[in-house]
């Protein structure tokens, strides 16, 4: 029996492309996306509240004793790069889901996908230069242009290819570390100032972000540009792009939709605990033993978390999928799903809230809040977003930034209010 259209259906013209309907959403994917988005803030809060060097080197600024040390340590082991990994994989899965839906209607997905990435790129550039230099949207848009062409590969081929791409960024890091001995002195000094800034550099950074908004814009522009060029080429494309490919493969296998067995998800959780966490812990110990030396810690010592974070992230995926599969903690998962459905709005809202708290145009707390205090702020933002997101979706179909993204992508205003 033929599975193709027959009779009048064959000559019917396909309808216009449109955003995914609520009935077509995969709840487990939304839950995992919301979980990842909230987790990302645990790491990003450091960059909102302190000089950027603290992301790579915890000794660069701020107290690192007592509870502050424990906050950093737990963040590094369980969160840093782990939730960005999940979010990147889900972004790849989202590309696959959107293009499949369009192509099932008999439409071509290329123009729609590229328009969608172009709009995201525009939002990312505005976010990076006007709000916060730690923007990830530009990376995602650029990687999205690149990975689209590979979406039709078989699932395991996508995973193998993605791991190969991820390995390229790792290899480049090792090569840069080895070649550092041959660098010009000014290049070494520039990297050192980024990894272990001098008191003068820190003082300039604090003054800039405690100052006016214009002064902040001037200060963040070089950092944003470097992030979108050199850092993206040497690290971001391989890391984020490779993870998107892996995410496409895992989505095709049903991993993100809670379609696999409970035993499989338990195995993922075990891999995270038994392999991923020990790798990250050992890397942390080695970095402290090396005194956070730039050549070792920035290039070689970072590899333990670079690879260990993928294993830990799979452990998190396994745990979340087990919860979704068993239908437990529905009060929490329903709220996480709402956060996930409005992830774009919630991501940008986190930036707006945190820059208002820490930067000079707002409360001006930049550099004055220790790590324990930062985590308390994170908890406050979590509570706010977990409470507001479901309330918003009771009245509206999309978050405000999702609505703008979809309207610009599809070339027409999308219905916003629920009937």
Q: What would the 3-class secondary structure string for 112-137 be?
A: HHHHHHHHHHHHHHHHHHHCCCCCCH
Nearest CA to 358 out of 236, 233, 210, 151 is that of: 210
**How far is the C-alpha of 340 from the C-alpha of 27, rounded, in Å?**
9
Note every long-range contact of 170-178, with CB atoms under 8 Å and residues 24 or more positions apart, other chains counting: 170/238, 170/303, 170/306, 170/307, 172/234, 172/235, 172/238, 173/234, 173/235, 173/299, 173/302, 173/303, 173/306, 174/299, 174/300, 174/303, 176/234, 176/299, 177/295, 177/296, 177/298, 177/299, 177/300
Nearest CA to 30 out of 252, 240, 247, 256 is that of: 256
Residue-wise pLDDT tens for the chain (419 aa)?
A: 334 333 333 334 455 555 556 556 799 999 999 999 999 999 999 999 999 999 999 999 999 999 999 999 999 999 999 999 999 999 999 999 999 888 888 888 999 999 999 999 999 999 999 999 999 999 999 999 999 999 999 999 999 999 999 999 999 999 999 999 899 999 998 898 889 999 999 999 999 999 999 999 999 999 999 999 999 999 999 999 999 999 999 999 999 999 999 999 999 999 999 999 999 999 999 999 999 999 899 999 999 999 999 999 999 999 999 999 999 999 999 999 999 999 999 999 999 999 999 999 999 999 999 999 999 999 999 999 999 999 999 999 999 999 999 999 999 999 999 87
**How far is the C-alpha of 58 from the C-alpha of 302, rounded, in Å?**
13
Q: Tokens 């689209």 map to which residue?
A: 148
Cα 41 to the chain's mean position, in Å? Answer: 10
CA 303-304-310 angle, to 5 degrees, is 95
**How far is the C-alpha of 226 from the C-alpha of 224, rounded, in Å?**
5
**How far is the C-alpha of 210 from the C-alpha of 223, rounded, in Å?**
17
**How far is the C-alpha of 163 from the C-alpha of 166, rounded, in Å?**
5
> Are the beta carbons of 348 and 32 closer than 8 angstroms?
no
pLDDT at 16: 57
Q: For the residues of 252-307, what is the DSSP string, one character each? A: HTTGGGT-S-HHHHHHHHHHIIIIIHHHHHHHHHHHHHTTT-IIIIIIITTHHHHH
- 396, with CB counted inside 10 A (0-12, 13-18, 19+), is middle
Cα 18 to the chain's mean position, in Å? Answer: 25
pLDDT at 25: 77
pLDDT at 9: 39
Q: Where along the chain do its domains lie?
A: 19-79+329-419, 90-201+218-257, 262-327
């Amino acid at each position: 029996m033929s599975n193709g259209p027959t009779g009048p259906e064959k000559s019917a013209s396909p309808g216009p492309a449109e955003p995914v309907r609520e009935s077509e959403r995969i709840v487990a994917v939304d839950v995992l996306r919301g979980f990842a988005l909230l987790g990302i803030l645990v790491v990003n809060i450091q960059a909102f509240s302190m000089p950027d060097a603290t992301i790579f080197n915890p000794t660069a600024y701020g107290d690192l004793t007592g509870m502050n040390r424990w906050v950093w340590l737990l963040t590094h082991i369980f969160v840093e790069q782990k939730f960005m990994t999940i979010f990147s994989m889900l972004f790849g899965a989202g590309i696959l889901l959107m293009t499949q839906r369009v192509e099932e209607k008999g439409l071509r997905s290329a123009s729609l996908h590229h328009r969608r990435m172009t709009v995201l790129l525009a939002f990312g550039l505005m976010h990076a230069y006007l709000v916060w230099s730690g923007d990830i949207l530009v990376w995602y848009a650029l990687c999205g242009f690149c990975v689209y062409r590979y979406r039709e590969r078989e699932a395991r081929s996508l995973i193998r290819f993605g791991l190969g791409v991820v390995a390229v960024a790792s290899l480049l890091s090792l090569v840069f570390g080895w070649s550092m001995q041959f660098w010009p002195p000014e290049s070494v000094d520039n990297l050192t100032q980024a990894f272990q800034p001098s008191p003068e550099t820190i003082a300039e950074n604090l003054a800039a972000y405690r100052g006016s908004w214009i002064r902040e814009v001037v200060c963040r522009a070089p950092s944003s540009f470097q992030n979108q060029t050199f850092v993206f080429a040497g690290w971001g494309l391989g890391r984020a792009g490779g993870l998107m490919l892996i995410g496409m493969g895992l989505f095709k296998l049903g991993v993100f939709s809670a379609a696999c067995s409970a035993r499989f998800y338990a195995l993922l959780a075990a891999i995270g605990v038994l392999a991923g966490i020990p790798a990250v812990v050992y890397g942390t110990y080695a970095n402290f033993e090396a005194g956070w030396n730039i050549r070792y810690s920035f290039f070689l010592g970072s590899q333990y978390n670079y690879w260990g974070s993928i294993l830990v992230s799979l452990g998190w995926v396994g745990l979340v999928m087990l919860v979704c599969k068993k239908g437990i903690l529905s009060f929490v998962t329903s709220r996480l799903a709402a956060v996930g459905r409005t992830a774009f709005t919630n991501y940008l809202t986190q930036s707006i809230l945190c820059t208002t708290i820490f930067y000079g145009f707002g409360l001006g707390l930049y550099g004055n809040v220790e790590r324990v205090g930062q985590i308390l702020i994170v908890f406050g933002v979590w509570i706010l977003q977990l409470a507001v997101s479901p309330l918003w979706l009771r009245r509206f179909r999309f978050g405000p930034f999702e609505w703008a993204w979809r309207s610009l992508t599809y070339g027409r205003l999308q219905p916003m209010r629920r009937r």
